[in-house]
Amino acid sequence: MLRNPPIPVDVSPDGALADRLGRPLRSLRVSVTDRCNLRCNYCMPQEEYVWLPRQELLTFEEIARLVEVFTSLGVEDVRLTGGEPLLRRDFPQLVRMLAANSRIRDLALTTNGVLFAEQGEALRAAGLHRVTLSLDTLRAKRFATLTGRDNHPQVLAGIEAARQLGFPNLKLDTVVLRGVNDDELSDLIEYGRSVNAEVRFIEYMDVGGATQWSLEKVFTRAEMLEQLGKRYGAIAPLNENSSAPAERFRLPDGTVFGIIASTTTPFCRGCDRSRLTADGFWYLCLYAQAGTDLRQMLRAGASAAEIAARISSVWRARSDRGAELRAATGERGVLIGIEQLRLDPHLEMHTRGG
Ligand code: SAM
């Protein structure tokens, strides 16, 4: 039950298209592939999955067309993700096409970094604005246990490449798992400082794919702040009025870090994000059970205006508060079991794009 039921609105204060909670359509995550070269046990614990059929993947032209429609409706921030986006063949070509869209204010990439040292230069040249690299541990053995692969040196090389290439606002994302890497928070902060990157600690979420999730394994925002406070002294919240998922803090020495606390302290009220899967399904929430098939419209010959009308009407009706509703569930467990995920791979985090 909402404490303050929202007044339905369809225009946000700045005049942009808005949903039923007044949230603008501003940020789009585009998953370019459901495949990944790591098998992080909190995301893709299985070796094999039901992969999206290749002929159903959007071509670069189709992605660019859909993004064009989204940006005509107010989207300004586009993040390319996956799966592992750098596995998509000729990926810099897609970046080049999107970089030509002048309505995109922030064209960003989320990557595990394994292939970034190889592709970083081409991506910079193609016009990529920003990069966020996932880094859960500084220890190679731990990385191998966590991901099932021994690519830790390549990940560190990828981060170094991003630094050397001068990508601004470099970010490192760390999912903190109790008993796995919760002893590395300050090491990661120190490492982030050394490579001029802001570290963001993410609470372990019970989204699709996290089939080994349990509440006990969640190292909470409160615990993160307590641990870092003991090490560094008083931590000051920056209290930014932002729709970004991370809440940012400053250490006494000025170092800034973030926490994404979607599990214990969700932030649905500010959520302006939606997600496009590699095969063209549009999801309004990481927790949503169903999406809108935009590929079908595109391939049936719908015009940009028709697709825009569909997107507008779906967004206007949006009332999703997935993380808040999950947090309100007293007894939490695995959200979606492996059998159900096999029946509908769109429910997977690696399909939907994290
Ligand atoms: N492969 C790319 C990467 O590793 O950055 C992009 C896709 S990955 C799904 C995006 C982010 O989602 C990663 O930082 C990953 O750690 C995070 N993630 C995956 N499963 C998660 C979970 N259960 N809880 C919290 N974050 C998760």
Nearest CA to ligand 1 atom 22: 205
CA pair distance 148, 43, nearest whole angstrom: 12
222: CA distance to ligand 1 center in Å?
21
Tell me what the mean pLDDT of segment 189-212 comes to.
94
Give the binding-site residues of ligand 1, using a 6 Å CB cut-off: 36, 42-43, 81-82, 84, 110-112, 134, 173, 175, 202, 204-205, 207, 209-210, 349-350, 354
What DSSP character marks residue 227?
H
81: CA distance to ligand 1 center in Å?
9
Banded model confidence at residue 207, pLDDT cuts 50, 70, 90: confident
Banded model confidence at residue 12, pLDDT cuts 50, 70, 90: low
Q: Which atom of ligand 1 is nearest to the CA of 213?
A: 23
Per-residue pLDDT tens for 290-339?
Answer: 999 999 999 999 999 999 999 999 999 999 998 998 888 877 888 888 88
Antiparallel, parallel or unpaired: β 171-176 and 130-134? parallel
Per-residue pLDDT tens for 224-263?
Answer: 999 999 999 999 999 898 888 899 999 999 999 999 999 9
CA pair distance 154, 171, nearest whole angstrom: 17
Banded model confidence at residue 2, pLDDT cuts 50, 70, 90: very low
Q: Which atom of ligand 1 is nearest to the CA of 173?
A: 14
Contact 126, 90 (CB under 8 A): no
CA pair distance 290, 294, nearest whole angstrom: 13
182: CA distance to ligand 1 center in Å?
17
pLDDT at 347: 86
pTM of the model: 0.94
Q: Which residue has the higher pLDDT, 333 or 90?
A: 90
